[in-house]
Chain A
């Protein structure tokens, strides 16, 4: 609970390096928050990870925030930490709601982002371009009520209880399995050629 309100020097370094694309920063309750342009977020996060003066090597969290004010854009939040330097940085990107909610995945930078991004997709409907396996994670594969943590999603769900029961009883049980698992069991021949090649080359699955 440090009361230090000084801005993390990484914010100034980002401004110097990326200009307006990382122009907004603020100190909120002792933590530095930098807002970056969504289309350059991946590039900026990669720089934060690799630059020898930054070294944010540890991805703490990826999440999103939707405000009750419907005009306000959805915010995507990356919590970063530099283990060698012992500092944290919060990076945000605004996702305007009138455009498709999309942003580049950072799984290629931190493998830990895999499930975190899947959860953001599941809960908020943000698509991560380049994610190797963007499936729902907490809700089931054929869940049809939308993305539960969105503010327009009612607390009790979109469907009535009777509709939920009707759908559960009428569901195809095999749809419980994802395509990826079916591909192992019986759909090998239907796999795309590149996947078959990878498997034939001895790759033990996605990694």
Chain B
């Protein structure tokens, strides 16, 4: 009996050293062997996706295998291509905002904010203080929601089902808050050029505060399950490593870049929305593997909670829309009684709001990485070019580099760790 107990203890914490820190012990006894060069004998070509739950959307991977070792990965994208950038050239600036919902549909409010900020910079519009704080709340709430989906689906890919349920439960609570505010859960269309679609309802800040107080407990529970879990460590440590130099070379951004040890966060390095006045830390990994990406995203959620609390504490009263009759629709009451308001309304809806000729590139730190909005105007009400710099497009482009030489099962873990959203990759 004594022998059995020892065995159980050893199984329970195989990944922890004497000091209680996670030890870097891969489950495989030896590293994947060198790839045999003779191509025309045993190599197998398999196709994963586009309809496959582990590809997180309609990603198709063509994989060349030598036994179980991945020799080559060729990603194919485009199955969800909707031509958003082309559509944008035929739409007024406010009409583009619903399209931004559908790019990275796991963080729609953050996309709305990114586009509105770029359009406002192009038009030279100053937004109100309350609008700024509410947009910070929207961005950080989307970051948490997106990271929750990431953690849940990645855990399920690696085989831990419970995490998925816990994370999605919290995500539902966060979506309830978003729904109260915007009326929608997924496609929020939260912002308008110069302001917001709606102010938060009465009592909403209190409900968000209550959620912020409870939510980190779920993160702690998940950390307790995974942080020193032998299977989790074996499946994630030293898997899909990108060094800092490689991460920069491949233009990775967001948690992927930071997990590799590069302390770059748009909120700190090119601040927008007064992010420089918030107190938060940017977590940075050391090894650039799947495990560090997990650590970075978990810590980012905790930091986001801190930002949300600061934002709630400073949320000022006042209007949410800029006092600019060029871009902000007059209130409905005035519209029905006041001729001038009616003319403004008519012109804005029918003709759109012209932006002066010029161009702007505005980066924001989205949950997936650096989302850039590049707008070029020729002076009309529709942009000449609306370019989305999609973070997960560039992150997934490094998949062959990360996965080649690993086992097929590691390919699934690595692909999950990138945190892709096909709506954004294919646009």
Chain A interface residues (CB < 8 Å from chain B): 1, 28-29, 31, 33, 57-61, 63, 65-69, 77, 79, 83, 86, 88, 90, 110-116, 119, 123, 136-140, 148-149, 153, 155, 177-178, 180-181, 184-185, 188-189, 199-202, 204-205, 207
Contact A111 B249 (CB under 8 A): yes
Contact partner of B81 (CB less than 8 A), chosen from A29, A33, A86, A139, is A139
Contacting pair B361 A90 (CB below 8 A): yes
Q: B46-72 vs A: 1/0 string, CB under 8 Å? A: 000000000000000010100000011
Chain A CB within 8 A of B331 CB: no
Enumerate the 3 nearest inter-chain pairs by beta-carbon distance, A residue then B residue, closest first.
A112-B251, A205-B72, A138-B78
Residues of A within 8 A of B83 (CB): 148
Bound-state Cα–Cα, A201 to B37, Å: 7
Cβ contact within 8 Å between B405 and A204 = yes
From the candidates A67, A77, A181, name the one contacting B384 in the complex (CB within 8 A): A67
Contact of B374 among A79, A177, A199 (CB under 8 A): A79
Q: How far is the CB of A168 from chain B (nearest CB, A)?
A: 14
When A112-B394, A138-B78, A199-B37 are in contact, do A28 and B358 touch as well, CB less than 8 Å?
yes
Nearest chain B CB to A158's CB is how many angstroms away? 13
Q: In this assembly, does B173 line the interface, its C-beta being within 8 Å of a C-beta of chain A?
A: no
Query: Do residues B372 and A60 form an inter-chain contact, with CB atoms below 8 A?
Result: yes
**B residues 379-427 with Cβ under 8 Å of A?**
384-385, 387, 389, 393-394, 397-398, 400-401, 404-405, 426-427
B45 in the interface, Cβ–Cβ < 8 Å? yes
How near does chain B come to A71, taking the closest CB pair, in angstroms? 13
Q: Does B278 contact A (CB under 8 A)?
A: no
Across the interface, do A60 and B370 meet the contact criterion of CB distance under 8 Å?
Answer: yes
- Give Cα A57 to B404, complex, Å: 25
Can you give 10 A-B contacts (C-beta < 8 A)?
A: A60-B251, A60-B372, A61-B374, A63-B385, A79-B361, A111-B401, A116-B251, A138-B77, A149-B85, A204-B404
Say whether A61 contacts B64, CB under 8 Å.
no
- Whether the pair A29, B121 counts as a contact (CB closer than 8 A) is yes
Question: Are B45 and A63 within 8 A (Cβ)?
Answer: no
B86 within 8 A of A: yes
Say yes or no: B122 contacts A29, CB within 8 Å: yes
Measured CB to CB, the nearest residue on chain A to B117 is A1
Contact A28 B359 (CB under 8 A): yes
> Could you tell me if B394 and A1 are in contact, using CB atoms closer than 8 angstroms?
no
Q: Quick check: A110 and B249 within 8 Å, CB to CB?
A: yes
B95 to chain A, nearest CB (A): 14
* A83 pairs with B262, CB closer than 8 A: yes
Q: Would you call B78 and A184 a contact (CB within 8 A)?
A: no
Bitwise, B120-142 to A at CB < 8 A (1) or not (0) is 01100000000000000000000
| Interface assignment of B360: CB less than 8 Å from any CB of chain A | yes
B269 beta carbon closer than 8 Å to chain A: yes
Does B378 count as interface, using CB distance less than 8 angstroms?
A: yes
Q: Does B248 contact A114, Cβ atoms closer than 8 Å?
A: no
